[in-house]
Amino acid sequence: MILSFLFYILIATEYIEFDSDFITISSNSTFRGVITTLIRSNNESVLLAINMIHSVIRFHSTDNNYKYPFIIFHDQNFTLTMRQQILSCVLENHTQIDISFALVDFQTSVKPAAKSRLNKPIGYRLMCRFWTYDIFYHSAIIQGQYDYLMRMDADSYFSDATKNDLFLYMKHKNLDYMYRSKYWEPSTPMDSILELFSIKSRWFRLDCIYNNFFIIRLKWYYETERVQYFVHELIRDDLMLREYIGDGCAHAAMLKVDSRIRVKFMKDFSYGHNFHVMPPKSSGITFIEKSRFREEIKESCRQLTVLRGTKGILTLINVSHT
C-alpha cells in the first residue's frame, strides 16, 4: 500500500517528561537534521511557506548561524513557477540554504466510511497518513539518511528566538520526540489497536499532539518494534483513510505504546500556527484571528509576519538582513 513517489532536489504506557532548561553546545557534523513541510499547490500556501522559512532562518537559534536543509513536499499540481517563487524569495537574502522539493502521490480510490467523520475529506485524511507513515518511507527521507526530522507546517512560524538549536537539544538530551502543545479530538477508531497493547480507552483520555510542529528521532521510529507494529496496523486495510484518525492522535498513541520513549513537551519557545499562538511557557493554544495577517503574508518575499504574545500582536520584520 506504500505510495509511489518521485523526488526532485534543488540545491540553493507512560512516557518520560523532562524539565525545561537551555543548553549551549557547538554545531557539529555527527548528526543530520532536516526541516520538512507539506505545501498546498496554491499561491497562498506558497506565500505562507516563504514566511515559515523566513521565521526559521530568523529565530531558530543555531551556533554559527548554521542552516538546516528544508524539504518541501507537494502534490502533482505544484508548478515550476511556484517552486521558483519560493527559491527566489528565500535565496535572495540567504544563499547558503539547501531547499529540496519532493513529489507525493496523493491519489487514492479509497472512500471514507459512511459513519466516519465526513467533515474530514479524503485529502485531509491523506495528509494525516502522510505525517504518520508516508513521510518516513519517502525516498527523500530514506536517501537523506537523516537522524532527526522536524515538521514545520507551511502556515506555521517561530515568532521569537528559540534560544536553543532544537536539533542539538534533542541530541544532547537523548530525546526521541519533541512537541509544542496538545489538543483533543475523538480517536475511537484506534481503540481496538491500542487494546492490542493492553491500553484501554476507558482508562484514560488520550490527549493528542498538536503536531504541526514536532521533532522525531528517526531511528526510534524505525527500530521500535511496538511503534512499527502500531503504525502498520493504522495503515493496514487503509484504516486511516476509511475511518478518520488525526495524525496528532496517532502520534500521541505512538508515544503511549512505547514505555521507554524519552519525550519533551517543549514550552520554552514562541510558536504560531496561522491564528493559533503559543507564547513561551504556555502549554495551551490561544486562537486570535487577525484579518491583517493574511494581507501582510502577501508581502512574505520581503518581510516576516508573525503573531506574538498572548494577545497575538501582529509583528512585521524586514528579512533583508536576517
Q: Tens digits of per-residue pLDDT, 216-264?
A: 999 999 999 999 999 999 999 999 999 999 999 999 999 999 999 999 9
Q: Is 25 a residue whose pLDDT tops 70?
A: no
pLDDT of residue 228: 98
Q: How are the residues of the chain apportioned to helix, strand and coil, as percentages rounded to the nearest 5?
A: 35, 20, 45
Q: Is 1 a residue whose pLDDT tops 90?
A: no
Please give the C-alpha separations between residue 311 and each of 105, 180, 290, in angstroms, as whole numbers: 39, 19, 10
Q: How far, in Å, CA of 299 to CA of 135, rounded?
A: 30
Q: Tens digits of per-residue pLDDT, 257-308?
A: 999 999 999 999 999 999 999 999 888 899 999 989 999 999 999 999 999 9
Q: Which residues of 276-294 are buried (b: 16+ CB within 10 A; e: fewer)?
A: bbbbeebeebbebebeebe
Which residues pair with residue 265 across a beta bridge?
Answer: 179
pLDDT of residue 199: 85
Greatest CA separation found in the chain? Answer: 54
Residue 164 is which amino acid?
A: N
Cell digits for 135? Answer: 513521510
Q: Tens digits of per-residue pLDDT, 171-201?
A: 999 999 999 999 999 899 999 999 999 887 6
Average pLDDT over residues 93-106: 91
Q: Tens digits of per-residue pLDDT, 116-146?
A: 999 999 999 999 999 999 999 999 999 999 9
Average pLDDT over residues 102-114: 95
Q: Delineate the domains of the chain, giving CATH numbers in brackets.
A: 7-18+28-318 (3.90.550.10)
